[in-house]
Structure 1
Amino acid sequence: MRKVIFLDRDGTINIEKSYLHKWEDFEFEINVIEGLKALKSLGYEFIVVTNQSGIARGYYTEEDLKTLNSEMVKKLNEYDIDILECYYCPHHPEKGLEEYKKSCDCRKPNPGMLLEGIKKYNIDVKNSFMIGDKKSDLEAGKNAGLKSILILTGYGKKVEKEVESEYLIAQDLLDVYKLIK
């Protein structure tokens, strides 16, 4: 069985920018490369799970998102960091284009994307984690049976007080390594 770290994208891997969908606007968060390399040295693999309601809202297309994710994966590969897969939820329960306006199992805090990855990649849930900067990320991990860690990049500082008694907290991905090693 594989040990995997599920990673939120916006605010966790990259600097949070409203409805990011262009590679030229992408910037890695602090200590992402160093943190992922350190976590890889512990035998972890990585899967990205990201809510992308900008698709539902018509701000960008699924193809735009796939292009951005592909560029991110290529850039991480340059540092010898592999991403098993990038899962995304294009839906929103109330807003946007009719085809995407729905409640679904994949939008975090629902665990659909994580459960799909767990099944597909034969993941050892007890030794895997969900890392994100929002309460919905942490709850998705919990709902999938994973340990969740809040990271204080992105929106993390805004939700820290709300979740501090329930979840582990790390400054950034390098600090996550220090927490779990």
Structure 2
Amino acid sequence: MRNDPVQARGKPANPVQARGERADPIQAQGEPSSRRDAWFRAFFDDQFASLHRYLARFTGDPEVAGELAQEAFIRLYRRRGRPDQPRAWLFTVAMNLARNAKTKASRQRRLLTLERSTHVLSDPPGAPGTTCGSASTRVRVKRALAALSGRDRQLLLLRAEGYSYKDLAAALELNEASVGTLLSRAKAAFKDAYQEYADAP
């Protein structure tokens, strides 16, 4: 008998039980719960190790791969009705999860980098005629940015990097229709903060 690939990694054998979630109403799908559970258990035992290896190669992190694999199986378990090609469906969902996780991690790293590189604002919004060419201006820009909310600061930094409204909405999880208004408010807040530091003795 094959060892349970999940138990071998010290993880719960059933990813749904691991989350403490209740089983779906399988009877409503025309398939007895016991039969569905038995199929899922067998499919999980047969496919988890393969999926985990696949995701580990893609992410470069076995622990992250394990979490993504379990999430993919949870989505399969909660799906209404069995897919025509369960393995293809599972791997497609898992890869989408992996890509999303990778994109999110990349965005977070980019935001951190941008926040440490405030000099990208070569022309501070709302402050015509100023540049970041002088040390005093760079200090004022840095202080003004630090005075903003995290969202306003990220909006300005990403916009300075050339992000479109659509990109800003995706990166910061905003409604695209509201980006223009939020960006205008962020610029106004920056202008006020920058002017305050500029007027300070």
TM score, norm. by length of structure 2: 0.23
Decide which structure has greater strand share. 1
Between the two structures, name the one with larger relative contact order (CA 8 Å, sep ≥ 6).
1
Decide which structure has greater helix share. 2
Max Rg structure:
2
TM score, norm. by length of structure 1: 0.24
